[in-house]
Amino acid sequence: WLKEIQQVTALTADLIHRNPELGLIVWPEIPPPLSYVQYEEDKSAIDELIGTRETPMLVAGFQQPENENDRGIYHNVAEFITPQGISGVYRKKVLLPFGEYLPFENLFPWLRQIFPQALKYRPGHETAVFPLAKEIRLLPLICYESLFPELVREGVDRGANVMVNPVDDAWFAASAGAQIHMAL
């Protein structure tokens, strides 16, 4: 990731240069671990980008829980970063079965042998709304969370008026998966 972040930041810097009126930069879910909060290298790279144009960013990534007993367990997050630093963190509430957790793993521990690559994410519990501008309040929903109307309603009830879904559907490759996700 430390090699790839140079390419991602260069592409983002070019985007900022070509579009000086950008009001928000969104980095979608990407395979390498990324966290403004937990990795100094990520924080430095993002601070440099934001500092050049004072454009806020919404970055999809992950965070490890602070508790030492929870090593190997993660939160899928959207970090909202402004020129002043971290402004808020949303922890994904509805996790993808088999992708982010193993359903019923506590009842059937042998499932881990069948699905050894399944991640161990923990769901969040709070709806987040990030103020972008005077009239714009962002509701981050990660990946397929946008399919759940109750999550959208919770955000609207808290004042959100723009939904941002930092999803990476590239893993669908050439299949119809991305189009189906968009249609849903």
Q: What's the confidence (pLDDT) of residue 88? A: 94
**Cβ contacts of 59 within 8 Å, gap of 6 or more:** 26, 27, 34, 36, 46, 78, 79, 81, 166
Question: Averaging pLDDT over each range in 4-8, 83-87, 116-120, which range is the top one?
Answer: 83-87
**Could you report the per-residue pLDDT of 132-152, keeping only the tens digit for each?**
998 999 999 998 898 899 999
pLDDT value at residue 93: 96
| Tens-digit pLDDT profile for residues 19-70 | 888 899 998 887 667 888 888 888 888 888 887 677 899 999 888 877 766 6
The per-residue pLDDT for range 71-111, each reduced to its tens digit, is 677 889 999 999 888 999 999 999 988 888 899 989 999 99
Handedness of CA 41, 47, 48, 50 (dihedral sign): positive
Helices (H) and strands (E) in the chain, counts: 5, 7
User: What pLDDT is recorded for position 116?
Assistant: 86
The residue type of 172 is F
Structure tokens at 42: 């990520």
Neighbours of 26 (CB within 10 A): 16
